[in-house]
Amino acid sequence: MNQNNANPSANLPPSFTNVIRQSKLFDGVKPGYYLAELEKCHLFEAAPNDLLITVGKENKNTYFVLSGTLYIHMEKSDSPPIRHVGEGETVGELSLLGETKATAFVVVQTPSTLLMVPREVMWRLIRRSAIIAQNLLFILTDWIISDNERFLDRSREVEDLKGLSQQDGLTGLLNRRMLDNTLNRVYSRSQMCDKPFSVIMCDVDHFKAYNDQHGHKGGDCALVALADVLKEAVRPLDFVGRYGGEEFTIILPDTSLEAALVVAERLRKEVENRNIFHVDGTPLSSITLSLGIATSAPDSSVEQLIEQADQRLYQAKHGGRNRCCSG
């Protein structure tokens, strides 16, 4: 990360100034209250995998994303991300204002332009404008609510999974009954919070032929390998289950159609490249997936969402297989 080479910004480029003006932090605040301070801060370019904030270490800056994407990770810097931070958003406020050690990793996902705002500058801005202080409170409240929702979802999931009847016996994923329950719960929360969520339906290509070639035991090994990929590739707040046979479902809370398509494409590639072995260690053929993606709308039902994802899955099948379809 080029923080050491960062230069104070005498004047922020107009495009970046517009991003700042449209941010939640400065909503309803006249530019004169904050632009002069921000123009003294460091503007720098960050590369993918740069580590901005580390768990257990003091954080002295708030990072303003002028372009690009950051990921927030909880347990490890390479664990599945729990949240994306994009253009116009900030990160680092909680540990900065509380003067506590960071509780999450912040990693650069795509080439990003960042404005590094020191602690003392943030405090000056807060003291200067009650609206900035209020906006920051709203941002932090959103973070806390998100953390609480994730905790509650995980607590419910643990409780739900106590009974083996709620798990798929072969793969250990959620079974159809639990998928339906979880989908209804995520849908209700989505309606309450006015945030979209996405569903990915995926199906193993030519699975009957695979069973004919390798036997049902070999087919089971392929499904277990697929389940492992799905479990490893999603975030802790996502849900993965076996819908039936060789068809699987991924539920992605707080996820747009565009972000879900990125997840689906990553899953498709990882499944295609995963080595599969029989229980006796014999190598088996690889498998491919066709995937259909749908995102909730305010006026759509759970049934309509699943139907839409399923229709797009079959569009992917008819389009040649081993592909994703989102529309």
Whole-number Å distance between alpha carbons of 19 and 23: 6
87 is catalytic: no
Q: Please provide residue 107's backbone torsions phi and psi, each rounded to the nearest 5 degrees.
A: -125, 140
β-bridge pairing 7-8 and 324-325: unpaired
**Could you tell me the strand order of the sheet in which 198-204 lies?**
239-244, 247-252, 198-204, 289-295, 324-325
Distance CA 111, CA 290 (A): 30
Determine which one of 37, 157, 246, 247 is catalytic: 246
Supply the Cα-derived Rg of the chain in whole angstroms: 23
Decide: 146 and 72 in contact? Cβ < 8 Å: no
Nearby residues of 33 by Cβ (< 8 Å), 6 or more positions away: 125, 128, 129, 132
SS3 assignment for 167-212: ECCCCCCECHHHHHHHHHHHHHHHHHHCCCCEEEEEEECCHHHHHH
- Cβ contact 107:71 at 8 Å: yes
User: CA angle, corner 149, sides to 148 and 154, nearest 5?
Assistant: 100
**One-letter identity of residue 143:** W
* Cβ–Cβ under 8 Å, residues 260 and 295: yes
Query: What value, to the nearest 5°, has the Cα angle with vertex 76 and ends 139 and 66?
Result: 40
State how far the alpha carbon of 149 is from the alpha carbons of 85, 92, 134, 144, in Å: 18, 20, 22, 9
Instruction: Give the residue numbers annotated as catalytic, written as ranges.
Output: 246
